[in-house]
Amino acid sequence: MIESLRERILQAVMGVLAPFAAAQGAALIRSPPTGVTRDQAPALLMFPESDGIVARPNDRAERHLVIRLTALARDQGGMSAHRIADQLLVSAHAALFAQANFGGLVLGLQELECEWDVEDADASATAIPARYQITYRTLVSDLSQQG
């Protein structure tokens, strides 16, 4: 079965983030269909948000894939959830930019925003989302081929 370049990029992102999340003692979860349980925190959640064409040079399509990473934490061992989530997001950010072309699959990576208006899910939980834009190119006629 042929996978789209977009899916291969998302898998590469997960592959890059996995060791960094594990080093922080966090679960790495892609698009969780239900809420994350207390037992799964801390967690780094990855959500693909959008993918759009921004240019069509000749038979190529330049695309922007936007992903959202959410660092989710709960107060733990005397450390605040805010601090744990921030450390997890700092580690994830460094991991992404250390492998910014994801094995040659992408043309560029840029941070779009990070919401510092922390939402408290409950008294001891914090979620900090950050968004990133990945630029890549495919053939106009084939989403599985790099352009």
- Note the pTM of the prediction, 2 decimals: 0.91
- For residue 112, pLDDT over 90 is answered with yes
CA distances from 72 to 100, 115, 136 (A): 23, 13, 28
Rounded distance between C-alpha atoms, residue 34 and residue 115, angstroms: 22
* pLDDT (tens digit per residue) in 30-80: 998 888 777 788 999 999 999 999 999 899 999 999 999 999 998 888 888
Number of domains making up the chain = 1
**Residue 139: pLDDT band with limits 50, 70, 90:** very high
Residue 119: pLDDT over 60: no
Find out whether 114 and 41 touch, Cβ atoms under 8 Å: no
Secondary structure (DSSP) of 42-80: SEEEEEEEEEEEEE--TTEEEEEEEEEEEEEEE-BTTB-
CATH code of 74's domain: 3.30.70.1700
pLDDT at 136 over 60: yes
Domain assignment of residue 15, given as a range: 5-146
Residue 17: partners with Cβ closer than 8 Å, 6 or more residues away: 28, 44, 46, 69, 92, 95, 96
pLDDT of res. 49: 97
* Each residue's pLDDT tens digit, 75-86: 888 888 889 999
Structure tokens belonging to residue 65: 């894939």
What pLDDT score was predicted for residue 131? 97
**More confident position, 115 or 9:** 9
* Cis, bond preceding 42 (omega within 30 deg of 0): yes
